[in-house]
Structure 1
Amino acid sequence: MGYGLGVFLLAVGLILALAVRDSINGVDLVMAGWILAGVGALAIVLTAATANRGRGTHTVASTTHADGSQTSTERRQETDPPAAV
């Protein structure tokens, strides 16, 4: 799931909710449109939240010792959002 799916669902939902005047027996197209628009907006928000979680600095350093063995050191630093003033 990504931004593309969210934007697509949002666009289709808003078209159904606001622009379509036809009717199908037993189906409320306006309500279906609003539901699709809500799901699309939720998909965009969830994609942004999960994409933002992976930000930060990730460093891996390898050291080769005189006897030929190697040691790897991994360091991860999270970036905090700017503090509110």
Structure 2
Amino acid sequence: MSMGGCIILVAVGAILAFATDWHMKGVDLDVVGWILMIVGLIGVFVFRSVGRRRGVVPPARTTVIEDERDRRL
């Protein structure tokens, strides 16, 4: 799951916890919403910490040195 997936989990969880009034027998949607929000936030923090450790590595560059003696006209 990526960072976007974690943010979607938080959004869906917030919708279930705060914006719905559905009632299902045997399932508390408020609790399901809170669980989704907590899992999404844990995922966001994990991805942020892994991204800091990994860092950005610039691409390797190849330097070409042209020798004037090798040119034949």
TM-score for both structures, normalised by structure 2: 0.74
Query: Which structure is higher in strand share?
Result: 1
Q: Compare CA radii of gyration and give the structure with the larger one.
A: 2
Query: Which structure is higher in helix share?
Result: 2
Give the paired residue count: 62
- 1:31-42 to structure 2, matched below 5 A, reads 31-42=31-42
Hey, what does 1:21 align to over in structure 2? 21
What RMSD over aligned residues (CA atoms) do the two structures have, in Å? Answer: 2.0
Among the aligned pairs, what percent are the same residue? 36
Structure 1 unaligned runs (5+)? 61-85
Higher RCO (CA-CA < 8 Å; seq separation 6+): 2
TM-score for both structures, normalised by structure 1: 0.64
Structure 2 unaligned runs (5+)? 61-73
Change (3 A) 1:26 1:6: same
Q: Give the drift of 1:56.
A: 6.0
